[in-house]
Amino acid sequence: MQLHNNVTEFILLGLTQDPFRKKVIFVACLLFYLEILLGNLLILVTIKTSQALGSPMYFFLFHLSLSDTCFCTSIAPRMIVDALLKKATISFSECIIQVFSFHFFGCLEIFILILMAIDRYVAICKPLHYMTIMNRRVCTVLVAVAWVGSCVHSLTQIFLALSLPFCGPNVIDHYFCDLQPLLKLACADTYVINLLLVSNSGAICSVSFVMLMFSYVIILHSLRNYSAEGKKKALSTCISHIIVVILFFVPCIFIYTRPATTFPVDKMIAVFYTIGTPLLNPLIYTLRNAEVKNAMRNLWRKTLVSYDKR
Which CATH number goes with the domain that contains 267? 1.20.1070.10
Q: Is the pLDDT of residue 96 over 50?
A: yes
In a domain, 310, yes or no: no
Distance, in Å, from the CA atom of 182 to the CA atom of 172, rounded to the nearest integer, reads: 7
In a domain, 302, yes or no: no
Instruction: Provide the residue range defining the domain that includes 240.
Output: 2-295
* Of 308 and 272, more confident: 272
**φ, ψ (nearest 5 deg) of residue 114:** -65, -45
3-state secondary structure of 85: coil
d(CA 208, CA 250): 11
Report the DSSP beta bridge partners of residue 96: none
- Is a pLDDT exceeding 50 seen at residue 271? yes
pLDDT band at 288 (very low <50, low <70, confident <90, very high): low
Instruction: Classify strands 9-12 and 171-172 as parallel, antiparallel or unpaired.
Output: parallel
Residue 307 has pLDDT above 80, yes or no: no
The predicted model gives 59-76 an average pLDDT of 93
Q: Is 54 exposed, middle or buried (0-12, 13-18, 19+ CB in 10 A)?
A: exposed
Let me know if residue 87 belongs to a domain.
yes
Q: What is the rounded CA–CA span in Å between residue 70 and residue 252?
A: 18
Which range among 35-44, 72-81, 156-165 shows the weakest confidence by mean pLDDT? 156-165
Query: Domain count of the chain?
Result: 1
- The answer to whether position 301 is within a domain reads no
Distances from the Cα of 148 to the Cαs of 86, 142, 168, in angstroms? Answer: 39, 10, 36
Answer whether residue 57 is part of any domain.
yes
> Mind listing the pLDDT tens digit for each residue in 143-185?
999 999 999 999 988 888 888 888 878 888 889 998 888 888 8
Angle CA 178–182–185, to nearest 5 = 165
- Domain membership of residue 190 (yes or no) is yes
With respect to residue 305, please indicate whether it lies within any of the assigned structural domains: no
Q: Which of 200, 272, 203, 202 is nearest to 243 (CA)?
A: 272
> Residue 2: its pLDDT value, please?
41
Helix, coil or strand: residue 71: helix
Are 271 and 25 a contacting pair, CB within 8 Å? no
Q: Residue type for 10, please?
A: F
Least confident of 62-66, 77-81, 276-280, 302-306: 302-306
- What is the pTM assigned to this prediction? 0.88
119 found inside a domain: yes
